[in-house]
Structure 1
């Protein structure tokens, strides 16, 4: 005989049973116990790639106590079991079966509930059939209510896709760069609650247009307007690269709907990486920030050489402007050292100080 276990879950006595029960005739000591089971699914229409929760409710209608009741739950093959809210439940004769066990008697009028959370596979098709069966070691005068089934249709969902692009091919440390996120609804259903979540890499979020975006816990979340099948939305985002960035900056984006499922999740995510140039543009005034920087991709390899091809200061160095002050071979630089400085007042240590005019 199986064991009988009584567990309190959400204020109710949960009936959990595992193993193959054996029917027994009622006797004067135990009497009879009319067990009943119900099963429901939420939501009523399942979405591909989204969770579905099955609630199984059991009851002992009496008049006697139930001995060693066994509850078996069988989910559809297209639903992957994620969680069961009662620890005594365990796997049955397959990956889609749950069997639970209880080590005590269940008195008349005792009730309980088990919740099973599953994930609908993206390729799932209608209908999804889930079953629950409750048996006991004692005779049941009404066995017809010992089994229950729920049939759930599966919606077609909407194929959401996201792509990332940027007009900047490289960025400077501390410089700004733009990212364009294009979200498309390839149908067949309309989506009213699409969200894009971006995780910047070595960059800080500045602003966005085309959607309501907020930053929290290292992510940028954007709520998109409603999109019918075939429509797209464009979000323009601006980021500022970290001043310590040395290799790449960028972001990874994921599109998601809270209501509508997606049968093709492979295009729900996209990444964009931008190479970091070797030298940042100096600020031009108090509190100034480097503006959007785009350096030709062919010059990235020479960007570490001052005055080299494609360097941000290369042209100025050759012309002898402010950038040329950092170019050791600039003729204008040498002349300014001889003529462009004047002796200034001594400092507190009586050492000469130069002031640049």
Structure 2
């Protein structure tokens, strides 16, 4: 796919409140955090500008990436008239202090986090503001109440949740419409299809798929482990451990075989599978290299017939992947139930 063909291509809508985003987004975390040392700022700004000029205008960050440095990077990239060309998403809810992680969702923290992100990003309003992880000490209605105020004040346009259970999504949506739920969805992470995807579709909530390339595994296979730096957190994830890697290699090899028949690479096939889930789904693959970005957006030209989708889903069925998505202490939607509103006693 020629990058020129992608320009102007818009996802019909993300959610039912009116947010339009590019059919594919750009996850920016790895530019500043988690996947090894921060990358050179001028190179990352050039990549962001290249993405926008190519029509990928949905940019995803969070205050915890760095922490804070990724938002600062995007703030620099969005100067000089660039801001109006993008749909900007950031997140709050993970407070990282002295290496210790705390999930926060109380109203005072929500407001302070939003003000901090606005300042670092250099914007007056955040297009899509996610609760990054759910604070199980605070009723979701309380957190949503403060987010609703931020919308009313014009500091946030649309509200999203990340790694939230179906029941938490329902409770939040009853306070204020949720525009998007961000979740891990790929050929090696399909557990969300049981309850969360159907709930989002029932409520008219858009779906943003993060790590659609299995944190790079569906691009490079097991050899990716050999290239990871010592401070790359993927080195500690269960699925990348030797006892699971040999098993997980089988999925990659099958994806690679099918991609070769299709005349594309494994990344493009894996992304195409996500795109074919529906117009309410937007994957946000991350990269730090322009050449990889160019490869990723060509996934939009890969067309999969129903029988090809069935074949991919059969090789990516339950048991195809060994190991949890995260280590044992990292919160996911499985740990996102909050107390009832009646139990809340504000300080």
TM-score by length of 2: 0.22
Greater relative contact order: 1 or 2 (C-alpha under 8 angstroms, separation 6 or more)? 2
Give the structure with the higher percent helix. Answer: 2
Which structure would you say has the larger Rg? Answer: 1
TM-score by length of 1: 0.22
Give the structure with the higher percent strand. Answer: 1
